Amino acid sequence: MAVDYLKNMEKVGGGFKPSVGKIVCAAPFGQDEEFNFTLHKGRGSDLWYSFLSHLDKKGYQITKVGENLEVSPVDAGYYNLTQKQKDEMEMKIKQGLASVAQSVSDFELIAHDVRKYKEFLKMIREDDEHSLRAIFIDEVDISTGNNSIKGIVIRWPTLISDFMTLGEKLPIEVDVNKIKDELKISKAEAVLLSTKQRLYNNWKKIFGSEVEGRLSRLLIQKNSRERTITEYKNWLKPLVARHRLHKEGLSDPGSAKKKLTDTWHSPAQAISTSETEIWAWQPIVPIEPRKGTMQMRSEDGGFGIDPYDKFISDNFIFDEKKGLKSEYHWIDEKWVKKVVEEIKGSEWMKGNSPYYVLLNVKYSNCIIKLPTGDEMDDVTFKTKNWFLSQNALLVLLLKIRAQEDDFDREINQLIGISGDNQVNVETIESIVESWKEDIKEDKKGSIDSIKENIAKVQEQVSKIIKFFGLEFALSRHGPYEHNFGDRITNMYLVSTAVDYYIPHLKLYLLGAVGVGK
């Protein structure tokens, strides 16, 4: 079930709620209207796209957050066209998935061999005599049959352990007497160990060069298969995206229920309905931008107040009931920090603007074809204006990015792979370097564990404070405006109507269709 993040944030950051100041999210009165126009066929789409262009010229950042299409079978021409396009895309997607399945299967087989030969290479580079001798006994010497070490162990029960000890004390020695004296064994066993030692040393020289050569060839094949899978993914992505744009309105359980009572939806009439929802936002600059001076540091991307704070992290991002985590279970701290930095460096958010105005517009275009042959557009704009602090806007922007990344994850699941589009080209040198990095990470792990324990203690203290109701008594109002009855209402909410909602939306829509002329 989709989460209404704006409503959830309004419950704690709107009106006279105690959290106002830590977050601000308010829907001003009189700025949530519904506009309905009945127009000639094609004028509805013309009005919608001209409206989007108008918002763009006024400085809004615009993104689509939802869309669906429902076409009545009675409108045979339009229905058959859309259904044919959808069927053709489904066929291409199925063929593409069948082709890529074989490539993924080949990749997994090669990756298995690569992992195996990586272990061999590590044994050789680190001169791990114990492991190499174990491989020699189990996979090489065993082929000699009754003359193998395992075959002769019945006569000399300690033969295997003596051969391993020989690798620790005299790894290259083949002199029978020296082996006999060092291990304190019989001469007959020493002769046998000397023979096996010669065979092992010769095998080790050949094995080392063969492992590196074989691993190099496997890595080339692995990188090639990985590149092939990436190309398949890039090929399928626009196809799947186009298929998703043909999402039927009845495929959503909530929309299907509404259609039962929708006066426009009738199986006996030639009606098609398309619905689109957008968010459009821009910084709001009132008469008095802020109460006092605000220092902006270049190392913070020019942000005087960091939009990613603990309050939104705990309540609207990682909260598993009403946060992003409830809808996108895969997000973690690493992903959030990475995306936050990308957002702060983009046009989506301005460092010197702690407050924003956001238009939530739900557009519905109902195309009606009458039995007489006449056609018309019945267009509805459901609008709602919001006043947000920058941390509230950040939650919405993270939701957009999570929606985009979730689409990538869906494609990966369809194809049967994980990860991003980047192909990790491995070489023997990069593998050796990764081992060195692993050693550094092990040393760093002890420091990180200490920091993690401190964070756990802080979290427990925070829970105790919240349980006893001391959360607001022990904290400041927060970095944003907290005087809702005076400053927010009189300075900001008036501006959202006079400077943004009325001229940019209301007057434009009414003027575009000729109302009042």
Amino acid at 69: L
500/291 Cα distance (integer angstroms): 22
User: Which residues, including other chains, have CB under 8 Å from residue 22's CB and lie 6 or more apart?
Assistant: 13, 309, 311, 477, 478, 479, 480
Q: Which helix (H) or strand (E) holds 434?
A: helix 428-467
Q: Is the pLDDT of residue 4 over 60?
A: yes
User: What average pLDDT does range 129-157 have in this prediction?
Assistant: 85
Most distant CA pair in the chain, distance: 116
The residue with greater pLDDT, 482 or 275, is 275
Amino acid at 84: K
User: What average pLDDT does range 120-138 have in this prediction?
Assistant: 86
Kindly indicate the confidence band of residue 454, based on its pLDDT and cuts at 50, 70 and 90.
low
507/58 Cα distance (integer angstroms): 14
Residues pairing with 366 in the sheet: 273, 378
Q: Is the pLDDT of residue 139 over 90?
A: no
| The pLDDT of residue 428 | 67
User: What average pLDDT does range 60-66 have in this prediction?
Assistant: 93
Kindly indicate the confidence band of residue 31, based on its pLDDT and cuts at 50, 70 and 90.
very high
User: Which residues, including other chains, have CB under 8 Å from residue 293's CB and lie 6 or more apart?
Assistant: none
User: What average pLDDT does range 40-65 have in this prediction?
Assistant: 94
Span of 30-34, 106-110, 240-244, 276-280 with lowest mean pLDDT? 240-244
| The pLDDT of residue 451 | 57
The residue with greater pLDDT, 9 or 86, is 9
User: Which residues, including other chains, have CB under 8 Å from residue 437's CB and lie 6 or more apart?
Assistant: none
Measured CA distances, 56 to 49, 131, 186, 390, 430 (Å):
11, 66, 92, 20, 47
User: Which residues, including other chains, have CB under 8 Å from residue 9's CB and lie 6 or more apart?
Assistant: 23, 25, 316, 388, 392, 395
User: What average pLDDT does range 16-36 have in this prediction?
Assistant: 89
Tracing tokens 């023997």 back to the chain, one arrives at 428
Measured CA distances, 357 to 27, 175, 424, 498 (Å):
10, 87, 42, 12
Q: Is the pLDDT of residue 92 over 90?
A: no
User: What average pLDDT does range 459-472 have in this prediction?
Assistant: 53
Kindly indicate the confidence band of residue 280, based on its pLDDT and cuts at 50, 70 and 90.
very high
C-alpha closest to that of 358 among 286, 285, 279: 279
393/25 Cα distance (integer angstroms): 9
Q: In the predicted model, what is the mean pLDDT of the chain?
A: 81
Q: Is the pLDDT of residue 296 over 80?
A: no
Measured CA distances, 389 to 307, 361, 494 (Å):
9, 19, 16
Kindly indicate the confidence band of residue 487, based on its pLDDT and cuts at 50, 70 and 90.
confident
Kindly indicate the confidence band of residue 268, based on its pLDDT and cuts at 50, 70 and 90.
low
What's 516's DSSP letter?
T
Q: Is 78 in contact with 272 (CB distance < 8 Å)?
A: yes
- State percent of the chain over pLDDT 90: 25
- State percent of the chain over pLDDT 70: 78
What's 251's DSSP letter?
G
pTM of the model: 0.69
Q: Is the pLDDT of residue 151 over 70?
A: yes
What's 131's DSSP letter?
H
Q: Is the pLDDT of residue 351 over 80?
A: no
Q: Is the pLDDT of residue 115 over 70?
A: yes
Kindly indicate the confidence band of residue 507, based on its pLDDT and cuts at 50, 70 and 90.
very high
408-413 contacts, C-beta under 8 A, 24 or more apart: 408/237, 409/330, 410/240, 411/233, 411/236, 411/237, 411/240, 412/233
Indicate the length of the chain as a whole number: 517
C-alpha closest to that of 355 among 281, 289, 284: 284
- The tally of CA atoms less than 13 A away on the side-chain side of residue 311 is 25
Tracing tokens 């990613």 back to the chain, one arrives at 308
Q: Is the pLDDT of residue 72 over 80?
A: no
| The pLDDT of residue 472 | 46
Q: What are phi and psi of 271, to 5 degrees?
A: -130, 135
Q: Is 413 exposed, middle or buried (0-12, 13-18, 19+ CB in 10 A)?
A: exposed
| The pLDDT of residue 245 | 67
The residue with greater pLDDT, 484 or 422, is 484
| The pLDDT of residue 474 | 41
Q: What are phi and psi of 159, to 5 degrees?
A: -65, -45
Kindly indicate the confidence band of residue 398, based on its pLDDT and cuts at 50, 70 and 90.
very high
User: Which residues, including other chains, have CB under 8 Å from residue 197's CB and lie 6 or more apart?
Assistant: 163, 166, 172, 173, 174, 179
User: What average pLDDT does range 462-472 have in this prediction?
Assistant: 52
Q: Is the pLDDT of residue 335 over 50?
A: yes
Span of 80-89, 338-347, 351-360, 387-396 with lowest mean pLDDT? 80-89
- Count Cβ atoms below 10 Å from residue 296 Cβ, excluding itself: 12
- pLDDT (tens digit, 9 = 90+) per residue, 161-211? 888 888 888 888 888 888 888 888 888 888 888 888 899 889 888 888 888
Span of 287-301, 365-379, 407-421 with lowest mean pLDDT? 287-301
| The pLDDT of residue 298 | 47
Tokens of 289: 């931008």
Pairing, β 270-283 against β 61-71: antiparallel
Tokens of 307: 């939009």
The residue with greater pLDDT, 245 or 148, is 148
Q: Is the pLDDT of residue 411 over 80?
A: no
Kindly indicate the confidence band of residue 356, based on its pLDDT and cuts at 50, 70 and 90.
very high
| The pLDDT of residue 1 | 42
